[in-house]
Amino acid sequence: MAAPDVIALTQALLRLDSINPPGRERECAHHVGALLEAAGCAVRYLEFDTARTCVVARIGGRSDALPLCLSGHLDTVPLGTLPWTHDPLAGEIDGERLYGRGSSDMKAGVAAIVAVVLELAPRLHATAGLEIVLTAGEEQGCMGSAFLARTPDALGRAGAIVIAEPTANRPYVGHKGIFKFHAVTRGVAAHASRPELGDNAIHKAADAVGRLRRYGFCCRPHPVMGLPTLNIGTIEGGQNINSVPDRCTLGVDIRTVPGLDHEALRADLARTLGPEVELRLVNDMPPVWTEPDLAWVQRVFALSARVLGEHPPVQTLTAYTDAGSLRRGYAGAAGAPPTVVLGPGEPELAHVVDEYCLRWRVEQGVEILRDIVCDWCGL
C-alpha cells in the first residue's frame, strides 16, 4: 500500500471535532478505523460511554513473538477563552506550521501511527505484528485506556509500547504518576453575626492547606524524575458571605515518582490532615518508568538518533499518559512491557491557544516510527 500523505491525514483528523468534554470521539475513531481495516487490520470499536469510542486494531502476529503496541488518543482539550488567529478545527497551514486544536497533542501522532501501519501493512503478516490502540477520554483521567485495561479481551498482547504523545520525536522513558483527590471539611452553618454558634469548614480547610504546603514526601529523589510535587488547584466552600460555611473542598494534585507507594501515601496524608478532613480519591495512576539500558530502549534511542542527527538524553515527561493503564492491561508474568513515549508534536504547545505542529517534524516522526516497527518486526 502506498504511503499516505501524513499531513493530509492530520488535517482530516483536526477537522473532526473531538474536544473533551464532551469527547464524541466516535467519528474520529471510525475514520482511522476504516483506514486500518482497508489496510488489512482486524479492527474493533469499544465504547465506555455513548460516542466515547476507542479503536483496537491488530495486524500480523506469531505465536512465538509478542506484537509491538502503538498508541495515541483521539480526544483534545477545549479551545480556551482567548481567540485563535487560525481556525482551530480547519487544519490550516501557514508555512511549516499546521494549526489546530490537537495538532501537537496529539492528532499528528495518531496520523503518524496510522501512516506507518498503512505503509507497512503488506509486509507485516508473517511478523510479530502490531497492536494499534487509539483511545477516547485520555484528557480527563485516561478513561478510555483504563476501560480497555479492565475489559476482558479488549487488549491482546504486547512486548513493548510506543505512545506517540508530543515529544518533538525524542524518546522519553516514563513520566510521573498521579494521585489526585478532594480534601473535604465539614462544619455547622450559622448566621455570620453569631459565628460562635457554628463551625467554620473553611477555617478547617485553611488549616489543611497549611499542612499540605508543609508536607514532606517520604521518598528519595528519582535520578531522572526528581521529587514528587503537590499542587492545591481548587478550593470551593460556602454559599454566601453572611453565613458560616458548613462545607469546603480542596482539589489536590500530587505527581509521584517510582519508589513512592500510593497506598502508603494515602495513609500518611490521612494522618497528616487528621480526622476533620475526608479524602476522596479522584485519580490514582502509578508512575511509568522503563530502564533506559534495556536492549529495546537502546535500539529506539539509536534509531531516533539516526534521524534526529543527535543522541537524545534520557528524560521523562512531566504530564501523564495512557501508558500507565496500558501497561496494567498488558502486564504478564514478566511484568509490564517496556514503554517509550515518542511522537512528532511539540510538547510546549500542548493545550495552548494557536496550537500547531511542524510539518517537517510530523514527516520525521513517521520515519522514526517506521524504523522502530521495522526493527521490531524484522523487516
Q: Are 245 and 202 in contact (CB under 8 A)?
A: yes
Do 50 and 119 lie in one domain? The reply is yes
User: What pLDDT, on the 0 to 100 scale, is given for residue 364?
Assistant: 98
pLDDT band, residue 334 (cuts 50/70/90)? confident
Residue 278, C-alpha cell as written in the block? 475526608
pLDDT band, residue 211 (cuts 50/70/90)? very high
Q: Is the pLDDT of residue 47 over 90?
A: yes
pLDDT digits (tens, 9 = 90+) for 111-121: 999 999 999 99
Do 12 and 130 lie in one domain? The reply is yes
Q: Is the pLDDT of residue 333 over 80?
A: no
Do 116 and 210 lie in one domain? The reply is no
Q: Is the pLDDT of residue 284 over 60?
A: yes
Do 302 and 371 lie in one domain? The reply is yes
Q: Is the pLDDT of residue 235 over 70?
A: yes
Do 140 and 185 lie in one domain? The reply is no
Let me know if 33 is exposed, middle or buried by CB neighbors in 10 A (0-12, 13-18, 19+): buried
- SS3 sequence of the chain: CCCCCHHHHHHHHHCCCCECCCCCCHHHHHHHHHHHHHCCCEEEEEEEECCEEEEEEEECCECCECCEEEEEECCECCCCCCCCCCCCCCCCEECCEEECCCHHHHHHHHHHHHHHHHHHHHHCCCCCCEEEEEECCHHHCCHHHHHHHHCCCCCCCCCEEEECCCCCCCCECEECEEEEEEEEEECECEECCCHHHCECHHHHHHHHHHHHHCCCCCCCCECCCECCEEEEEEEEECCCCCEECCEEEEEEEEEECCCCCHHHHHHHHHHHHCCCEEEEEEEEECCEECCCCCHHHHHHHHHHHHHHCCCCCCCCECCCCCHHHHHHHHCECCECCCEEECCCCCHHHCCCCCCEEEHHHHHHHHHHHHHHHHHHHCC
User: What pLDDT, on the 0 to 100 scale, is given for residue 3?
Assistant: 65
CA distances for 183 relative to 317, 330, 331, angstroms: 27, 33, 32
pLDDT band, residue 332 (cuts 50/70/90)? confident
User: What pLDDT, on the 0 to 100 scale, is given for residue 185?
Assistant: 98
Tell me the average pLDDT across 158-164: 98
Which residues lie closer than 8 Å to 51 by C-beta, 6 or more apart?
A: 23, 24, 25, 26
User: What pLDDT, on the 0 to 100 scale, is given for residue 54?
Assistant: 98
pTM score, two decimals? 0.93
Do 71 and 149 lie in one domain? The reply is yes
User: What pLDDT, on the 0 to 100 scale, is given for residue 318?
Assistant: 87
pLDDT band, residue 4 (cuts 50/70/90)? confident
Helices 6-14 and 26-38: angle between axes, nearest 10 degrees: 150
User: What pLDDT, on the 0 to 100 scale, is given for residue 218?
Assistant: 86
- Is the residue at 278 inside a domain? yes
User: What pLDDT, on the 0 to 100 scale, is given for residue 293?
Assistant: 97
pLDDT band, residue 1 (cuts 50/70/90)? low
Do 108 and 143 lie in one domain? The reply is yes
- Is the residue at 1 inside a domain? no
- Is the residue at 162 inside a domain? yes
Domain range enclosing 226: 177-285
Report how many domains make up the chain.
Answer: 2
Do 132 and 222 lie in one domain? The reply is no
Nearest alpha-carbon partner for 174 in 373, 351, 320: 320
Tell me the average pLDDT across 50-69: 97
Q: What's CA 322's distance to the chain center, in Å?
A: 4
Q: Where residue 112 sits, what CATH number does that domain have?
A: 3.40.630.10
